[in-house]
Amino acid sequence: MELSGGEIIVKFLKDEGVEYVFGYPGGAVLHIYDAIFQQDDVRHILVRHEQGATHAADGYARATGKPGVVLVTSGPGATNAVTGIATAYMDSIPLVVLTGQVALPFIGSDAFQEVDSVGITRPCVKHNFLVKRLEDLAETLKKAFHVATTGRPGPVVVDIPKDVTDPGIKIPYEYPREVHMRSYNPVVKGHPGQIKRATNLILSAKRPMIYTGGGVVLSNASQELTEFTRELGYPITQTLMGLGSYPATDRQFVGMLGMHGTYEANMAMHECDVLIAIGARFDDRVTGKLSEFCPHAKIVHVDIDPASIAKNVKVDVPIVGDVKLVLRDLLAELRAKGKQPDAGALEAWWAQIEEWRSHNCLTYDRDSELIKPQFVIEKLWEVTGGDAYVTSDVGQHQMFTAQFYKFDKPRRWINSGGLGTMGFGMPAALGVKLACPDDEVVCVTGEASIQMCIQELSTAMQYRLPIKVVNLNNRYMGMVRQWQEFFYESRYSHSYVEALPDFVKLAESYGHVGMRIEKPADVEGALREAFGMKDRLVFLDFVTDQTENVYPMIAAGKAHNQMHLAPQCKAPQSSERELA
Amino acid sequence: MRHIISLLMENESGALSRVAGLFSARGYNIESLNVAPTEDPSLSRMTIVTTGSEQIIEQITKQLNKLVDVVKLKDLTAGEHIERELMLVKVRAEDATRVEGFKALVANYGGKIIDESEDICTAEITSDGVTLDRLLSEIDRDDILETVRTGASGIFIGARSLRI
């Protein structure tokens, strides 16, 4: 079969099993768009801004585990995509981003819409390619998908000069089923000696703690993690990226840890004697002050990326490998040993954890006449049966959702954890809805974040994607305001959002349904009404309390046992218990 | 501590910028870096001299290994190795006695004179970096017109080698 470059790209995507390409046309990719026009196998989703394309593809990838695919033009098309690429990079999400480039003879001449896309994206991709010969195109695309989806996943950019897709030049095409790269062979199987050492340490624990991150989700290892955790009976905490990979409604789950983690999770981290870190990378928002991180603990760390191990925190038993395979090996080793954890010590440890938990650190004023954001999330959880796909933007609403929407399944909680990209939530929700048309998909956002990619309401209309938008509208950049209250003596420098649009009318002008909710008593009814409209995008504008803060909070640079707690919570700040 | 990291990478355009970009993005030191093709035209050899604590060096080697273009990597400093660097040095040669002194110095360091004219003299010396520094310190600074150094290359002693 003889095909042009543009046709090869489209045919390859079909052969690779790609359902959707999120993109925006422009000069350098017109040949490719012409090839897209002439087929129905790969569906193209036209966004309104390239950032939206990357976030939508990212949402699709997070919900399905399959790579998200993006197609943008050269120059501004590529630069607009960079925020989304960096977002995916920080959270290890597999994306393949095809960027058009000016024709080869023009590269380096400051041609119209030319930027060095490979250079610009280099620090925020797992790898990138510039295709210089039509003969290399199919194999390069295969390499891009291979690199994006294996090992520690991540975004890969393929920069394609316009003349490489020239419809006048055709070459034979055959789908490259396999690809071999001598320089790229990720280790997936944990070292047996390390598995044994880890098992011994895990069984020796008196005050154990399991701490897991996004790696468990990426590795599809929820079932293995759940089995492992139940087998041991140990407490488990998760990072923002890990939520849902162990059921949040289970007794052994002590909540999220870190800056806005629960009192019980953070106190248990501070006092544990063995920490089992799985698919997590010891991010600064998780560890707090490094020199006081888990001061009493020996640490086991499982991660597929060797560079994540001992990057921020020294560990005692590192295991490089795919989380799913390592957890299976750990479980097999535990069962083969036939030894049980120290039941007496574990009972005492759980008693302590339950005491911490009894302080109910996620308490808030339930009698307020204003709508509390936490209340909206609690009701959202009830109305959706805890089973919706929930995306978010970045800030207070993101933390409230992480704390109050109890995710029992993986891939349900979709947010920008590493880069913290405002504007992520709504386009990501569109990608999720395409992947999961029969599930409820909600974007929880704030009036500041939503405006960063608001134009995608138009995309949602074009493709009839009936997501629900829960806007926690406090007329402030809430998290900025909170930091200014705590650390800048309430000098609210530029965190107040003036001249807000009427979101109800805005939603309506895009052809959607808009609702404004101003009283706590109306919250549940509005949510039920909105979710009752199965085929409509409903934008719920909740007018919330402007002064609400996210608690608990560990200030940057403080240790796990130094938390700001909600005014209603009277838990002691640090444990006075004598440690063995 | 000073480390010499030797690596083989795919001889592709942009490979050098990935390494250089990694060092600047993560704030690692580079004392010197050199790169050239090998007997296998698909591979480049790069030698990086860097400094840092053991933890930083561990991160540097891991991050370098993580680059998709890097095929293989070794920290030469972890084993017995030979370090070599080529230096070209051009000096004023107006004063005959000083020129004789310069030539003797170069000979003493195992180098040779590769260009000589009425008023300049250029020498080539190969040694390790510390020795080259010492040689330079023995030449009057005002006489030096130019020095050109390649940065260190290195190789393991004995049968141990970095190959694929």
Q: What is the pLDDT along chain A (580 residues), one digit of tens a residue?
A: 899 999 999 999 999 999 999 999 999 999 999 999 999 999 999 999 999 999 999 999 999 999 999 999 999 999 999 999 999 999 999 999 999 999 999 999 999 999 999 999 999 999 999 999 999 999 999 999 999 999 999 999 999 999 999 999 999 999 999 999 999 999 999 999 999 999 999 999 999 999 999 999 999 999 999 999 999 999 999 999 999 999 999 999 999 999 999 999 999 999 999 999 999 999 999 999 999 999 999 999 999 999 999 899 999 999 999 999 999 999 999 999 988 999 999 999 999 999 999 999 999 999 999 999 999 999 999 999 999 999 999 999 999 999 999 999 999 999 999 999 999 999 999 999 999 999 999 999 999 999 999 999 999 999 999 999 999 999 999 999 999 999 999 999 999 988 999 999 999 999 999 999 999 999 999 999 999 999 999 999 999 999 999 999 999 889 999 999 999 888 886 544 433 3
Helical residues (DSSP H) of A437-580, grouped into ranges: 456-462, 478-487, 503-509, 520-532
Strand ranges (DSSP E) for A178-334? 208-212, 236-238, 253-256, 274-278, 298-303, 317-320
Chain A, 464-503: which have a CB under 8 Å from a chain B CB? none
CB contact under 8 A, A310 and B63: no
Contact A437, A413 (CB under 8 A): no
CA distance B29 to chain A (A): 17
Q: What pLDDT sits at residue A574?
A: 55
CB contacts, 8 Å: B70 with chain A: 183
- A408 to chain B, any CB pair closer than 8 A? The answer is no
Dihedral of the alpha carbons of A299, A303, A307, A308, in degrees to the nearest 10 = -60
Task: Find which of A118, A145, A183, A312 to mutate to test the B interface (most B CBs within 10 Å of its CB).
Answer: A183
- Measured between alpha carbons, how far is A506 from A457 in angstroms, rounded to an integer? 9
CB contact under 8 A, B68 and A126: yes
Query: What length does chain B have?
Result: 164
Range B82-95 burial, b when 16+ CB lie within 10 A, else e? ebbbbbbbbbbbee
- Measured between alpha carbons, how far is A323 from A280 in angstroms, rounded to an integer? 10
Q: What pLDDT sits at residue A577?
A: 41
| Closest residue in chain B to residue A116, using alpha carbons only | B14
Q: What pLDDT sits at residue B138?
A: 95
Tell how strand B112-116 and strand B120-127 pair up: antiparallel
CB contact under 8 A, B9 and A183: yes
The Cβ of residue B28 has, within 10 Å, a number of other Cβ atoms equal to 18
Please report the sign of the dihedral spanned by the C-alpha atoms of residue A274, residue A279, residue A281, residue A286: negative
Chain B, 6-25: which have a CB under 8 Å from a chain A CB? 9-10, 13-14, 17-18, 21, 25
Query: What length does chain A have?
Result: 580
- Residue B138 or A573, more confident: B138
Q: What phi and psi, each to the nearest 5 degrees, are found at residue A46? A: -80, 115
The amino acid sitting at A469 is V
CB contacts, 8 Å: B63 with chain A: 307
The Cβ of residue A438 has, within 10 Å, a number of other Cβ atoms equal to 6
- A306 to chain B, any CB pair closer than 8 A? The answer is yes
Contact A399, A453 (CB under 8 A): no
Chain B, 24-43: which have a CB under 8 Å from a chain A CB? 25
CB contacts, 8 Å: B25 with chain A: 123
CB contacts, 8 Å: A183 with chain B: 9-10, 68-71
The Cβ of residue A516 has, within 10 Å, a number of other Cβ atoms equal to 17
Of A123, A127, A307, the CB nearest to B62: A307
**Residue B105 in this model has a pLDDT that exceeds 60:** yes
DSSP percent split of chain A into helix, strand, coil, nearest 5? 40, 15, 45
- Measured between alpha carbons, how far is A315 from A384 in angstroms, rounded to an integer? 40
The Cβ of residue A117 has, within 10 Å, a number of other Cβ atoms equal to 27
The amino acid sitting at A538 is V
Residue (of A38, A26, A45, A17) closest to A160 by Cα position: A26
Q: What pLDDT sits at residue A573?
A: 65
CB contact under 8 A, A183 and B69: yes
CB contact under 8 A, A122 and B68: no
Q: What pLDDT sits at residue A579?
A: 38
**ipTM > 0.85 for the complex:** yes
CB contacts, 8 Å: B28 with chain A: none
Q: What is the mean pLDDT of residues B159-163?
A: 92
Name, in order, each residue with C-beta under 8 angstroms of A4's C-beta and a sequence gap of 6 or more.
Answer: A31, A35, A165, A166, A167, A168, A169, A170
